[in-house]
Amino acid sequence: YWVEVVRRRTAGKASNKFNFSQTMLRVKDPKKSVDFYKRLGMKVMAEKHFPDAKFSLYFLASNVADADVPDDPTTEEAVLAAGNLFQPVLELTHNHGTEDDADFKHYNGNEEGRQGFGHIGFLVDDVYQACDDIRELGYGFKKEPDGGNMKGLAFAWDPDGYPVEIIKRGGMDYQQKNVE
């Protein structure tokens, strides 16, 4: 693994010098993957296509006002705006041609002998409702909300087999009592 340090396109307003910028996942079929993450509330902020190098990049973000979402994410203005976001983005990297290969599969970092990457996570108001919504999209779960020892959180599978944690906004309710 490596840490990529990315310079802001323009000076930021934050006093800190570093903020978490992005997570990159390799995807087999960008249509399926972009659609999945859009259904989780993310917006496509920028796209960059490199036909000669045979790959494309899709940058998605959460909690973006509709007015700030570009009409055309392929413009230089959209790429500049995405580079100026303070919140992190999800970068989906697609190597052209993988979508047509029935046997192609990316390693997700959680396979036997290939552990490393864990998961990405989303905060939701209602874990159970969010899981019902994901089921309606046709995706399964590594861990259901009431499975295992930790109740009230889930891990869904995205179209490429990456685990996506679904956790209650504000933290899990362990039904703990405060002692004073």
Residues taking part in catalysis: 165
56 alpha-carbon distance from chain centroid? 16
**Which amino acid belongs to residue 56?**
S
β pairing state of 89-95 and 141-143: unpaired
Which of 94, 89, 93 has its CA nearest to residue 23? 89
Query: Helix, strand, or coil here: 54?
Result: coil
Token pair 């399964």: residue = 140
Phi, psi of 28 (to 5 degrees): -80, -45
Nearest by Cα to 43 from 53, 31, 35: 35
